Amino acid sequence: MSQKLGKMRKLPKTITEKELLQLVKATKPKKYKLAFMLGFYQCLRVSEVVKLLPEHVDKERGYLHLLQAKGAKDRDIPIAPPVLKGLKHLPISCSVRTLQRKVKELAKQVLGKDIHFHTLRHSGATFCLNILKMDIRHVQFMLGHSRITTTEIYTHVTPDSMSKRFEEAWGDYIA
Report the Cα–Cα distance between both ends of the chain, in Å, rounded: 33
Catalytic residue among 75, 118, 138, 156: 118
Cross-strand partners of 77: 64
Say whether 145 is catalytic.
yes
Catalytic residue among 33, 45, 102, 122: 45
The strand pair at 57-58 and 2-4 is best described as unpaired
Catalytic residue among 31, 102, 121, 122: 121
Say whether 154 is catalytic.
yes
Catalytic residue among 70, 73, 108, 137: 70
- Of 50, 66, 46, 48, give the one whose Cα is nearest residue 58: 66
- Of 137, 116, 129, 111, give the one whose Cα is nearest residue 39: 116
Say whether 122 is catalytic.
no
Other Cβ atoms within 10 Å of 165 Cβ, number? 13
Beta strands in 10-109 (DSSP E): 57-58, 63-69, 73-78
Say whether 70 is catalytic.
yes
Strand (E) or helix (H) holding 117: helix 117-130
Catalytic site positions: 45, 70, 118, 121, 145, 154
